[in-house]
């Protein structure tokens, strides 16, 4: 198998210089590839958003029907040894830190289940002795006994650690490279475990090797030149899919948004470009799950659900826990813009002709150890 | 196919159920069936004579054979070029590198295979 | 820069593979092989027959420069028979390549995926470069690749059916996802179909019936060779992709009207 090739130089110029005719062709191509993806990122394509949206919607319907998968994030801890300049949990920020106790985790899970959530994404800060692999694995095991699907968005792990997560009931792992630009990456992560660019880059492959069923990729839009980062993200996804033919890949679109007194993006990405990137991914990778969080506004989320985006978080808290009232308070990682609860959000989806899905039936086929208590359709 | 040997008693060797009897005064030695690993040749346990007499099956047809029992001799007799022929004995492929160490035995089923147009 | 493709430990320049069956005579077959420029030629196995020594094809083929013979296990009904055929084929040709073909049904001649997989695993262990002939099944193709096969050979349509690229959409998936050469085999009726395979990224094609049964096999072989080259060149030149009409609906991007932050 070939090595991961992330050089995108000539594609960037293609992305910048494409004509409107090329864009129209690229939108309509039946077997699109990197070439079409680059063209769809161009400024000219930015003038064809309606056509891109139409094709993105058609392809989303074709592969995902008129449904949106829903999940909720659950932060297990916000202790962190690392200074990522853009993150609310950075080690040099004076914030309220907390780590869920087992009892708190149980009550948080109960609260989420009462909201109807069946898929939970567990998060922590960077690796710490007190909140390391075992902590995450135990959290996964607890969650797997309550929720149908458990995924984790945590620090980069070894292949055998990932295998341990899989054995504990974890289905997927999300790990954003943040930026694929090594120079900017080094500047943004000067020390701590996360400083190792190559170790992090290789982590999704280790996760799939370790037996996790799918990996979630992404870049934090705004950290570096978005065209370059997104082109590299595309290549990374393509390479992983080729190398792990049985594994799944999903793409998320976290974006640096202005927060009071906080990190300001060096390469700010506005909503139109964000939408363009989502549409481009849908058109060039029609069968990949595309995920959008509650970081974006209700208006944006409503508009893009089903138009490229096939999976969304709902009723999110980015504090540690926060769904149950009994958990100790803590500071959030970033501000939520869409604060709607599950009922309200699902009502919106239905009004748009989309069915909200809280998937809970795959567990019927799994080995007995992994069955959740709610394993019935 | 070569004509059946006349063993001197008015019987033909190629007829089923024919008893084999010594001919020309030489002791007739019955050799064991070739094992499935023909490289485990039984060498030296019986005297190497001017020739052995045995019934083989070659390419599905009965074939009385008299000779040293070597592959090279059999192929030469049949005018099959060794370089272009592959060999199976009793259902097992015998690699060319082992041919020298093989001795054919009574009742062996030999298949000679060559390339053909096709595929 | 040579545009070869790697099979096992060798690199081949010609992307047209030829089967040697169904020709009206050995001479015609040899002429077609020469005209095709093929470097990899498949042969079958048969029993040696003294009376048919003149029909020998191994001698003349082996004498042609640049030809690598690849025995075909066609006729085998199961993995054991195919392995035996491969071992015999290697004895004759000295070639480490084998085209693994197991089709139990004599009418539609569709390959048996289970026997093929088992035989492939055994043959890879024996050191062969295995080229398995399969239905255009993308998962089976990856399983065989994982098992160590040197290529995959998905069919375009049933052997001899001349139905062309009936499996087109599946071939596209296989070609896109393969980490070893994808060689489309069987059912190709015309040079334009061979070119189409190359244009969509196929690494090579194997043609037999379409050439052997042509009025002028030598000329047809040359036509296929030209088509394969043309298709490959088009691919490398960056062919304009095929397109679907985009579906227009009511405005979907109104939600972006106000530039949010």
pLDDT in tens, C198-234: 999 999 999 999 999 899 999 999 999 999 999 999 9
pLDDT in tens, C147-184: 999 999 999 998 877 788 999 999 999 999 999 999 99
As a whole number of angstroms, the distance between CA A185 and CA B118 comes to 59
Give the domain extent around A275: 9-366
Phi, psi of A174 (to 5 degrees): -110, 135
C256 shares contact with chain B (CB less than 8 Å) = no
Supply the pLDDT for residue B25.
31
As a whole number of angstroms, the distance between CA C146 and CA C64 comes to 34
Q: What is the DSSP string of chain B?
A: -PPPPB-SSS-BTTSTTPPP---TTPPP-PPPPPPSSTTS---SSS---S-EEEEEEETTEEEEEEE---HHHHHHHHT--GGG-EEEETTEEE-GGGGGG----TT-EEEEEEEES--
Supply the pLDDT for residue A180.
97
The count of CB pairs under 8 A between chains B and C is: 103
Looking at residue A178, what DSSP letter applies? B
Which chain C residues have a beta carbon less than 8 Å from that of A352? Answer: none
Residue A377: inside a domain: no
Enumerate the β-bridge partners of residue B84: none
Bigger pLDDT: A87 vs C136? C136
Supply the pLDDT for residue A367.
63
Q: Is B36's pLDDT higher than 70? A: no
Name the minimum distance, in Å, from the CA of B87 to any CA of chain C. 7
Q: Computed over its alpha carbons, how large is the radius of gyration of chain B?
A: 15
Q: CB C244 to CB A241 under 8 A?
A: no
Number of CB atoms found within 10 A of residue A11's CB: 21
The count of CB pairs under 8 A between chains A and C is: 83
Of A190-199, C57-66, C119-128, C237-246, give the lowest mean pLDDT range.
C237-246
CATH of the domain at A115: 3.20.20.70
Q: CB C242 to CB A30 under 8 A?
A: yes
Q: Which of C243, C247, C261 sits opposite A54 (nearest CB)?
A: C247
Supply the pLDDT for residue C160.
75
**Which chain C residue's Cα is nearest to A245?**
C142
Which one of C85, C92, C99 makes the best mutation probe of the B interface by having the most chain B beta carbons within 10 Å? C92
Q: CB A50 to CB C252 under 8 A?
A: yes
Which chain A residues have a beta carbon less than 8 Å from that of C252? Answer: 50, 53-54, 57, 303, 307
Please report, in tens digits, the pLDDT of each residue of chain A (377 residues total). Answer: 467 888 888 899 888 899 999 999 999 998 899 999 999 999 999 999 999 999 999 999 988 989 999 999 999 999 999 988 888 898 988 999 999 999 999 999 999 999 999 999 999 999 999 999 999 999 999 999 999 999 999 999 999 999 999 999 999 999 999 999 999 999 999 888 899 999 999 999 999 999 999 999 999 999 999 999 999 999 999 999 989 988 899 999 999 986 645 788 999 999 999 999 999 999 999 999 999 999 999 999 999 999 999 999 999 999 999 999 899 999 988 889 999 999 999 999 999 999 999 987 776 666 654 444 333 33
Chain A and chain B touch, per 3+ beta carbon pairs within 8 A: no
Enumerate the β-bridge partners of residue C100: C132
pLDDT in tens, C18-63: 999 889 888 999 999 999 999 999 999 888 887 776 668 888 998 9
The helix or strand, by DSSP H or E, that contains position A144, with its residue range, turns out to be helix A133-144
Q: Which of A28, A57, A300 sits opposite C244 (nearest CB)?
A: A28
Supply the pLDDT for residue B5.
35
Token pair belonging to C185: 């085999």
Q: CB A299 to CB C260 under 8 A?
A: yes
pLDDT in tens, B89-110: 998 999 999 999 999 999 999 9
On whether the CB atoms of residues A356 and A68 are closer than 8 A, the answer is yes
Supply the pLDDT for residue A2.
64
Domain B52-113 sits in CATH at: 3.10.20.30
On whether the CB atoms of residues C212 and C23 are closer than 8 A, the answer is yes
Which chain C residues have a beta carbon less than 8 Å from that of A51? Answer: 246, 248
C2 shares contact with chain A (CB less than 8 Å) = no
In three-state form (DSSP H/G/I as H, E/B as E, the rest C), the secondary structure along A273-341 is HHHHHHHHHHHHCCCCEEEECCCCCHHHHHHHECCCECEEECCCCCCECCCCCCCCCCCCCCCCCCCCC
C49 shares contact with chain B (CB less than 8 Å) = yes
pLDDT in tens, A316-371: 999 999 999 899 999 988 889 999 999 999 999 999 999 999 987 776 666 654 44
Q: How many CA atoms lie within 13 A of B102 on its CB side?
A: 27
How confident is residue C106, by pLDDT bands cut at 50, 70 and 90? confident
Q: Which residue in the list C22, C99, C125, C229 is annotated as catalytic?
A: C99
**Contact partners, residue C224, CB within 8 Å, separation at least 6:** C16, C36, C191, C194, C205, C207, C210, C211
Name the minimum distance, in Å, from the CA of A246 to any CA of chain C. 9
Which chain C residues have a beta carbon less than 8 Å from that of B91? Answer: 84
**Which chain B residue's Cα is nearest to C19?**
B119
Does C99 participate in catalysis according to the annotation? yes
Which chain C residues have a beta carbon less than 8 Å from that of B114? Answer: 45-48, 56, 58, 92
As a whole number of angstroms, the distance between CA C25 and CA B7 comes to 44
**Which chain C residue's Cα is nearest to A303?**
C255
**pTM score > 0.80 for this model?**
no
pLDDT in tens, B39-89: 334 444 444 455 678 999 998 889 999 888 899 999 999 999 998 999 999
C32 shares contact with chain B (CB less than 8 Å) = no
Chains contacting C with at least 3 CB pairs below 8 Å? Answer: A, B
As a whole number of angstroms, the distance between CA A96 and CA A320 comes to 10
As a whole number of angstroms, the distance between CA A143 and CA A140 comes to 5
As a whole number of angstroms, the distance between CA A172 and CA A313 comes to 15
Chains contacting A with at least 3 CB pairs below 8 Å? Answer: C
Residue A1: inside a domain: no
Residue A371: inside a domain: no
Supply the pLDDT for residue B42.
41
Domain C5-256 sits in CATH at: 3.20.20.70
Q: Which of A29, A35, A49 sits opposite C243 (nearest CB)?
A: A29
- Number of domains chain A is built from: 1
Residue A204: inside a domain: yes
Q: How many CA atoms lie within 13 A of C41 on its CB side?
A: 32
Q: Which of B91, B114, B118 sits opposite C72 (nearest CB)?
A: B118
């Amino acid at each position: 198998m070939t090595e991961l090739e992330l050089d995108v130089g000539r594609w960037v110029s293609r992305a910048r210089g494409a004509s409107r005719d090329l864009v129209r062709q690229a939108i309509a191509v039946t077997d699109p590839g990197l070439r079409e993806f680059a063209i769809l990122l161009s400024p000219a394509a930015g003038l064809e958003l309606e056509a891109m949206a139409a094709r993105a919607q058609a392809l989303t319907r074709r592969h995902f029907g008129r449904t949106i998968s829903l999940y909720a994030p659950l932060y297990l801890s916000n202790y962190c040894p690392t200074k990522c300049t853009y993150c609310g949990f950075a080690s040099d920020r004076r914030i309220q830190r907390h780590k869920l106790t087992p009892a708190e985790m149980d009550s948080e899970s109960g609260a989420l289940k009462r909201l109807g959530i069946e898929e939970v994404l567990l998060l922590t800060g960077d690796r710490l002795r007190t909140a390391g692999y075992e902590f995450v694995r135990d959290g996964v095991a607890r969650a797997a006994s309550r929720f149908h699907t458990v995924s984790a968005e945590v620090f980069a792990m070894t292949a055998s650690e990932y295998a341990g997560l899989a054995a504990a009931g974890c289905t997927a792992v999300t790990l954003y490279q943040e930026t694929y630009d090594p120079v900017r990456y080094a500047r943004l992560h000067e020390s701590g475990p996360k400083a190792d660019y190559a170790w992090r880059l290789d982590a999704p492959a280790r996760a799939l090797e370790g037996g996790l069923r799918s990996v979630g990729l992404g870049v934090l839009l705004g950290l570096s030149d978005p065209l370059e980062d997104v082109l590299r993200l595309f290549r990374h996804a393509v390479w992983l899919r080729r190398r792990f033919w049985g594994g799944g890949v999903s793409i998320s679109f976290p974006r640096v948004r202005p927060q009071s007194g906080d990190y300001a993006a060096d390469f700010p990405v506005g909503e139109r470009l964000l939408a363009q990137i989502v549409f481009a991914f849908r058109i060039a990778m029609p069968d990949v799950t595309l995920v959008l969080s509650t970081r974006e506004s209700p208006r944006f989320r409503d508009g893009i659900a089903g138009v490229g985006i096939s999976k969304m978080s709902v009723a999110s808290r980015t504090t540690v826990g926060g769904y149950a009232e009994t958990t100790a308070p803590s500071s959030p990682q970033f501000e939520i813009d869409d604060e709607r609860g599950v009922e309200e959000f699902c009502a919106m989806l239905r009004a748009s002709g989309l069915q909200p899905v809280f998937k809970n039936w795959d567990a019927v086929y799994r080995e007995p150890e992994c069955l959740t208590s709610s394993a019935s359709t | 196919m070569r004509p059946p040997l006349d063993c001197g008693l008015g019987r033909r060797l190629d007829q089923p159920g024919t008893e084999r009897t010594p001919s020309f005064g030489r002791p007739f030695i019955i050799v064991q069936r070739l094992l499935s690993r023909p490289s485990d040749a039984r060498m030296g346990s019986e005297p190497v004579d001017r020739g052995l007499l045995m019934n083989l099956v070659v390419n599905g047809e009965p074939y009385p054979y008299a000779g040293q029992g070597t592959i090279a001799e059999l192929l030469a007799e049949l005018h099959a070029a060794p370089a272009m022929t592959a060999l199976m004995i009793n259902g097992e492929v015998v690699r060319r590198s082992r041919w020298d160490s093989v001795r054919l035995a009574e009742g062996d089923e030999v298949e000679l295979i060559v390339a053909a147009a096709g595929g | 820069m040579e545009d070869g493709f790697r099979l096992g430990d060798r690199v081949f320049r010609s992307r047209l593979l030829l089967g040697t069956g169904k020709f009206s005579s050995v001479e015609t077959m040899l002429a077609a092989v020469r005209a095709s420029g093929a470097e990899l030629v498949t042969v079958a196995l048969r029993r040696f027959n003294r009376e048919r020594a003149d029909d020998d094809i191994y001698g003349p083929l082996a004498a042609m420069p640049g030809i690598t013979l690849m025995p075909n296990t066609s006729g085998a009904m199961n993995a054991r028979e195919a392995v035996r055929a491969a071992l015999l084929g290697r004895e004759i040709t000295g070639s480490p390549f084998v085209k693994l073909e197991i089709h139990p049904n004599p009418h539609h001649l569709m390959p048996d995926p289970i026997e093929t997989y088992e035989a492939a695993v055994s043959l890879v262990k024996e050191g062969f470069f295995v080229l398995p002939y399969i239905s255009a099944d993308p998962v089976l193709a990856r399983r065989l690749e994982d098992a160590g096969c040197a290529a995959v050979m998905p069919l375009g349509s049933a052997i001899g059916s001349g139905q062309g690229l009936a499996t087109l959409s599946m071939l596209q998936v296989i070609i896109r996802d393969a980490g070893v050469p994808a060689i489309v085999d069987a059912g190709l009726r015309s040079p334009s179909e061979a070119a189409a395979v190359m244009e969509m990224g196929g690494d090579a094609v194997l043609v037999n019936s379409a050439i052997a049964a042509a009025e002028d096999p030598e000329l047809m072989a040359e036509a296929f060779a030209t088509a394969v080259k043309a298709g490959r060149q088009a691919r490398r030149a960056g062919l304009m992709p095929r397109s679907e009409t985009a579906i227009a609906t009511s405005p979907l991007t109104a939600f972006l009207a106000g530039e949010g932050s």
